[in-house]
Amino acid sequence: MKQVDLDKLDQRILSVLQQDGRISNQLLAEQVGLSPAACWRRVRTLEENGVILGYSARLDPESVGQGLCVLVNLSLQRHNLDSTAEIEQQVSSYPEVLQCFAVTGSADFVLRVVVPDMASYDRFLNSKIFTLQGIAQVHSNFALREIKNTETIPVDGLV
């Protein structure tokens, strides 16, 4: 995807929306110094150009019974397009996997997994990860506490 040119108004809109995705267009327009119609057009353009991917509610994992966070490093036996694509497809279908990154270094993929407890993680490994074809090693890192967890992309000063 091609980078979209963002002016100062677009940057301000994105900063405000990242802090409060439920803000009314009227209040957003006031905060960024635009008329409501002009603000709505800009937000719509940002959505259409794929800059804004969507809107969602952030949940507290412990409040919904998903308090164990595990960073899982997967290493492949062999590297070829077919096996890699199959693993990516399978892992993407698992609801426990919140993020999956293809990475360089000692692992080929890093997954962020949330489950209720250790027994659930054991079942996840045995029923899903260990059944994947082509996995050579699995290393699990258990999060002790969360220091920072954001999806806010810095957009100020891009122009």
Residue-wise DSSP of the chain: -PPPP--HHHHHHHHHHHH-TT--HHHHHHHHT--HHHHHHHHHHHHHTTSS--------TGGGT--EEEEEEEEESS--HHHHHHHHHHHHH-TTEEEEEE-SSS-SEEEEEEESSHHHHHHHIIIIITTSTTEEEEEEEE-SS-S----PPP-TT--
Domains assigned to the chain: 8-48 (1.10.10.10), 62-142 (3.30.70.920)
Q: 83 CB contacts (<8 Å, ≥6 apart)?
A: 76, 133, 134
- Whether 80 shows a pLDDT value over 70: the answer reads yes
- Whether 128 shows a pLDDT value over 90: the answer reads yes
Predicted local confidence at residue 138, as pLDDT:
98
**Average pLDDT across the chain, whole number:** 95
Q: 56 CB contacts (<8 Å, ≥6 apart)?
A: 21
What's the pLDDT band for 1 if we cut at 50, 70, 90?
low
Average pLDDT over residues 37-46: 98
Average pLDDT over residues 54-70: 96
**Assigned token pair, 74:** 């997967």
What's the pLDDT band for 159 if we cut at 50, 70, 90?
low
Q: Does the reported pTM lie above 0.85?
A: yes
Higher pLDDT, 16 or 3: 16
- Whether 59 shows a pLDDT value over 80: the answer reads yes
